[in-house]
Structure 1
Amino acid sequence: MALVLQSVLKRVAVDTRPLGVAPYRRLLLGQGVSFIGFQLTSVAVSAQVYDITHSSLWVGLLGPANLIPLVVFGLWGGAVADAVDRRKLLLMGSVVAWLATAALLLHAWAGLDNVYLMLAIVAVQSTGFAVTAPTRSAIIPRLVAADRVAAANTLNFLISSVGTVVGPLLAGIVLAKAGYAAAYLIDALLFGAGFYAAVRLPRLAPVGEVSRPGLRSVVDGLRYIATRPIVMMSFVVDIIAMAFALPRALYPELTAERFGGSPVAFGWLSASLAIGAVAAGLVSGWVGRVRRQGVALTVVIALWGLTVAAAAFAQPLWLIVALLAVGGAIDLVSSVWRQTILQTYAPDEMRGRMQGVFMVVVAGGPRLGDLRAGATAGAFGLVPAWAGGGLLCAAIVLVAGLSIPAFRNYDAVRDGLARR
């Protein structure tokens, strides 16, 4: 019995073999530590902007301040990552992000309370993130063996999910005890772990055909996506999942209607998806062994939509959180497969641009989802907006995913890893 249990645990426990590669291990741990600081700053900025303005509109303007640089420099940064040493680009983008954090620290210390300056600094910080995120992702297939890319991506999403839980919780304590400047100072210090990991990376010069970074290079990347159904659909299914089913913008209304506006209830709702992602990451050993990733993606995103829809009808807080946590677990699995398809199907000279588009989709999809949820809730009510979005997501992704033969029949070994 003990041997059977040990065998089962070995198959389902998170695959840690990529940690045997020292550069990847340093990159992962450095990213994990610095991401806690990034989340800490994100919460602190929102709180400080509201403290200065007493306006949710100004807090909402942090969205475009983040998104516009992510779109512009995410695409540009991905193109540059295909044409230069990725280690150097990661270092340069990291310095830009760190300088922005230092500027927030100085702004708080000086007591300037200038919301326009804060929005500008946030835009600069987002620019640095837009360059580093696709570059870091494009580096992974150069560090680990082809058959361990999925496991490496799982570890990446797991460590990010942990940061998404720990960072906001830490922010609550720091802001209550020490204020905004302390939060930014902690972020600036934690950043050092990620920077050290980047410094220790080996040289990562471009391989294959190198194109000059610029608008033409970006267009070439977009043309590549448009002519590869497998790659295109990996983006489409993500947009469907986030734009139709993400209920995040409805948490405040749900909290007010069912839980008397309780901050504790709102906190649990806000953390629910990340809690599920962390739990799924710990038992994700099977994820990398799935070969038919196209059809698997279609099925799990349909399940995501149905799970979100079910949460709309649940009444007890614990049940809503549990259903959303299941959704978060599903989202982690789908994220791993989408990322793995991009990293193993696309050639190395395209990976930076693919990761740039991936980041734009990952950043833009949830914001489209927020807009969709808020607009439909205003027109039709909370439950129809929440549940209807989930049901539409399930229906649309099944039609889209199963109607494209190349995506439906995609085999990670035959069509992905074999291409390397």
Structure 2
Amino acid sequence: MGLLIDLRPLRQSPAFARMWIGSTLSGIGGQLTVITVMLHVFALTHSTFAVSMIAVAGLVPMILAGLYGGMLADAFDRRRVALIAATVAFASTGLLMTLTWTHAVTIWWLYALSMIVAAANSVGMATRTAIVPRLLPREMLAPASALNGVAFGMTVMVGPAVAGLLVALTGYGWTYTIDVILMLSMFLGLWTLPALRPEGEIVRPGLASLVDGARFLRGAANIRMQYILDICAMTFGQPLVLFPALGTVILGGGAVTTGLLTAAVAVGTFLSSLFSGRIVHYRWHGRGIARAVQAYGAVIALFGVVLLAGIGSGRATEDSPDVLLIVLACVTLALSGAADNVSSIYRNTMMQAAVPDTMRGRLQGIFVIVVAGGPRLGALYAGVLASLTALWFPPLLGGLLVIALVAVFVRLSPRFRSYDAEDPQP
């Protein structure tokens, strides 16, 4: 059992390998746009609250799309559903690029197109994740989750850093253009998949399908608990919305610092996946999730302490960054990325192994809502609290809340603590 990542899923399934490569390249482009939209909104409004509202505005469409997209994935060819979702995201990003180059973009266009992309990505993510167990045997699911961690690490490590540099050097139009080009790789990965109709009894999308999924989730205590823990972590421990202001007010460096802070999270994700050889063979996934989420809360609180030190020093400006504080902030964020990724490996594997194929799309739809919706609630929490108090206060308080809440919830769920990956039970 080595320390380095297990590459066998890429060798055993060429279809999985192609989808993984396509998702990675298009993900880099998507991260370019995520950061660029944040910087674009901040440049137009100079408001952290306005930046946080991008995430909040996309929450309701994302929830509805995730639920309905999960039902679609359980009723139709999953390859086709994923292709349609990718097409919608591609067209929306193309329109954003066109509006920017023609100087017709407004704050409302940024909000509206962000909502559409969030909804399309919600459907696509739920469907692609439900596809993976059809391409790989069960023993390869945890290594596949680690590989997805590497992909996510690369996308968030490269995308934001390049976005910050591109915005600083060339403006917004080129960044959106590069995203449009990179998104083409997603179609290659999906187009070459075989047809993937769901196995078992098929329930047509609608109220009956939704009720059927809710009934299954009601009896799936382990799945519910991992949802709860992730919501706690992302609601109270997600400081991303603060990054544009930090580059201006506390740490200095402007857009470049914003990109570096976001990329630091991905560095931790990437490295923890790269050295995941032993992590993926740990069988007690419930305990692994709980410990990783508490570690995440601890380093987010430490990030708040670093920001508080920056307030005390008062040395940084947008043109004169405080390099030491930026390095310390990046280290804490890298540790948070590592902790979140370990939790993600166990959560994804639990979802794919313990949920039957006939339910996998709907449960993945809910899972995507939790994974993507939690940070949006976190954006609202951090944006509002920072507006009322100070930029350092939301991560410090939130990290401590995460530690306490996880301890309480896991204490009340002995079944979750004893979850065994060799006998997966929802």
Give the TM-score normalised by structure 1: 0.89
The one-letter code sitting in structure 1 at the alignment partner of 2:148 is N
Q: Which residue of 1 aligns with 2:96?
A: 104
Match of 1:64 among 56, 70, 76: 56
**Structure 2 matches for 1:245-394, cutoff 5 A?**
245-251=237-243, 258-259=250-251, 265-314=257-306, 315=309, 316-317=324-325, 318-377=327-386, 385-394=394-403
Does the aligned pair in 2 maintain the 1:77–1:131 contact within 8 Å? yes
Deviates more, 1:248-257 or 1:66-75: 248-257
Residue 227 of structure 2: which of 235, 241, 252 is its match?
A: 235
Amino acid at match of 1:369: G
What's the CA shift string for 1:285-332, capped at 9, x where partnerless? 112211110112112211221222233334452333222211210100
Change (3 A) 1:222 1:97: same
Cα distance in 2 between the residues matched to 1:257 and 1:113: 27
Match status 1:129 vs 2:121: yes
2:160/2:260 contact within 8 Å kept: no
SS of the residue corresponding to residue 276 of structure 2 reads coil
Q: Distance in 2 between matches of 1:235 and 1:260?
A: 36
1:264 positional shift: 5.0
Aligned residue in 2 for 1:195? 187
The C-alpha deviation readout for 1:32-81, integer Å capped at 9, x for no partner, is 00111111122333344445556555544422332222111011101110
Moved more, 137-146 or 212-221: 212-221
- Secondary structure of the residue aligned to 1:412 is coil
Secondary structure (helix, strand or coil) at the match of 2:424 reads helix
CA distance in 1, matches of 2:4, 2:163: 30
How far is 1:350 from its partner? 0.8
* C-alpha contact (below 8 Å) 1:49/1:115 kept by paired residues: yes
In terms of mean alpha carbon deviation, does 215-224 or 251-260 score higher?
251-260
Q: Which blocks of at least 5 consecutive residues in structure 1 are unaligned?
A: 1-9
> Larger % of helix: which?
1
**2:70 is the counterpart of 1:78:** yes
Residue in 1 aligned with 2:134? Answer: 142
Q: How far does the alpha carbon of each residue in 1:147-206 deviate from its partner, in whole angstroms, 9 at most, with x for none?
A: 010111111122112111211222234334544333222222211111011010011011
CA contact (8 A) 2:157 2:262 kept: no
- In structure 2, the CA distance between the partners of 1:392 and 1:138, relative to structure 1 (3 Å rule), is same
The 2-side partners of 1:231 and 1:214 are apart by 23
Distance in structure 2 (CA, Å) of the matches to 1:44 and 1:321: 20
Counterpart-to-counterpart distance in 2, 1:295 and 1:55: 40
CA 1:284/1:313 → structure 2, altered by over 3 Å: closer, same or farther? same
Conservation of the 8 A alpha-carbon contact between 1:250 and 1:386: no
Does the CA contact (< 8 Å) of 2:49 and 2:387 recur in 1?
A: no
Matching residue of 1:170: 162
Structure 1 stretch displaced more, 394-403 or 129-138:
394-403
Q: Percent identity?
A: 37
Q: In 2, are the aligned partners of 1:150 and 1:336 still within 8 Å (CA)? A: yes
Query: Which one-letter code corresponds to 1:15 in the other structure?
Result: D
The alignment partner of 2:199 has SS state of: coil
- Alpha carbons of 1:381 and 1:116: their partners in 2 closer, same or farther (altered >3 Å)? closer
User: Within the alignment, does 1:15 sit opposite 2:14 as a pair?
Assistant: no
Unaligned runs of 5+ in 2: 310-323
Helix, strand or coil at the partner of 1:150: helix
SS of the residue 2:75 aligns to? coil
Output the TM-score relative to the length of structure 2.
0.88
Q: In 2, are the aligned partners of 1:138 and 1:351 still within 8 Å (CA)?
A: yes
Matching residue of 2:18: 26
**1:113: which partner in 2?**
105
Q: Alpha carbons of 1:234 and 1:57: their partners in 2 closer, same or farther (altered >3 Å)? A: closer
Does residue 415 in structure 1 map to residue 406 in structure 2? no
Checking the alignment, whether the CA contact within 8 Å between 2:168 and 2:255 is kept in structure 1 is no
**Aligned twin of 1:7:** none
Q: Is the 8 A contact 2:293 2:343 kept in 1?
A: yes
Matched ranges for 1:143-158 at <5 A: 143-158=135-150
Deviations 1:225-273 (A, max 9, x none): 2221111001011011112223334546666665357655544333322
Instruction: For 2:256 and 2:289, locate their aligned partners in 1 and report how far apart those are by CA, in whole Å.
Output: 33
Structure 1 residue ranges, 4+ long, deviating more than 6 angstroms after superposition:
none
Q: Distance in 2 between matches of 1:56 and 1:295?
A: 36
